[in-house]
Structure 1
């Protein structure tokens, strides 16, 4: 039977309810890539929520721009570009390719779709573009982005996107 979420009213569980899976300690000790975020980024985001400031253009109402190992876009009307930076903590020379599982009703493009690390670079930045395929007011749909190096590393982040038509329409799902 499908997993049910706790609470009232009862509903089918989604990734917000049941989490990301089991932890493999051996693979956690050697992840290959990490999504680093500095405390300063959280402070900057907090300060930008208090009111307009000079350095807030990337953060005003856009929590999805934080360099987290997940992407949630709660208000996709047309298209949104999200940027992430990964740090290579695996082999010095490594190439990762993106494997995309787009959320239903959303086109998802990762650029570049391949990132290469050598002795000179330890970080790489990529962009994910989300485009609504249809103009509907919907609930969240889920997908993922996985970076594979062809050897031992599979670095997956969950994706959650909700398409909206207007901000004032209540979500009843």
Structure 2
């Protein structure tokens, strides 16, 4: 019912808008990117949307964990340059690294997927476009993120250089700091190391890693946070 006097129309559903409206907005943006790249995986499309988003900055009521990668730009996402791709097996391994057992994993995947081999990994090993690290307050810390990027920029011979911005409380390094691609869909690995501290309780420290070839700006956000 609309609540308007004399309006007797009734339907068996209701539409309520709110913060969840971000979901259909992102779905539309993802569909737009997929119309140009029908063979891209969901992870590749997500990466394109995240790494080309416009940076946002925290206000008195926000921090890096609330505004995420930034404001989407579907037009830029069509040509992101590089993408952080991942498949079903990568997400299954993430569940394994999150201490999920086979019964729990089957409830998520609906198939016979199981944990394979090493269980020494961590959740941050997932090839995700952003990086987050939870640390104990009052203690120094050090961690590494292994990432793989795929060249989708069109140019068969291109070089990317890493640019790093980090909060003064963090030390962030990328190794190697330069990536060379000789063909389309070629993959390259790199490691992002972060250290620092100690950080006080209930605090965040941000950083940004950008791969640039002079045309594309492939931006990944990082946040180190405490309880």
Bin the TM-score by the shorter chain.
0.7 to 0.9
Pair member with larger Rg: 2
Which of 116, 135, 146 lines up with 1:75 in the alignment? 135
Equivalent residue of 1:12, what SS?
coil
Shift of 1:55: 1.5
CA–CA separation in structure 2 for the residues paired with 1:131 and 1:12: 26
Aligned Cα root-mean-square deviation (Å): 2.4
Instruction: Please say if residues 58 and 64 of structure 2, whose CA atoms lie closer than 8 Å, have aligned partners that are also in contact.
Output: no
Give the direction of change, closer, same or farther, for the CA distance of 1:34–1:105 in structure 2 (3 Å limit).
Answer: same
Instruction: Please say if residues 72 and 159 of structure 1, whose CA atoms lie closer than 8 Å, have aligned partners that are also in contact.
Output: yes
Residue 94 in structure 1 maps to residue 158 in structure 2: yes
Counterpart of 2:221 in structure 1 is 158
Which one has the bigger strand percentage? Answer: 1
Give the direction of change, closer, same or farther, for the CA distance of 1:137–1:43 in structure 2 (3 Å limit).
Answer: same
Tell which has more relative contact order, 1 or 2 (C-alpha 8 A, sep 6+).
Answer: 1
Give the direction of change, closer, same or farther, for the CA distance of 1:41–1:32 in structure 2 (3 Å limit).
Answer: same
Which of 61, 74, 86 lines up with 1:37 in the alignment? 86
Q: Deviations over 1:70-98 (max 9, x none)?
A: 00011274311111000000111110101
Counterpart of 1:124 in structure 2 is 188
TM-score, normalised on structure 1? Answer: 0.77
Which one has the bigger helix percentage? Answer: 2
Equivalent residue of 1:22, what SS?
coil
Gaps of at least 5 residues in structure 1 are: 5-10, 164-170
Shift of 1:101: 0.9
Counterpart of 2:75 in structure 1 is 26
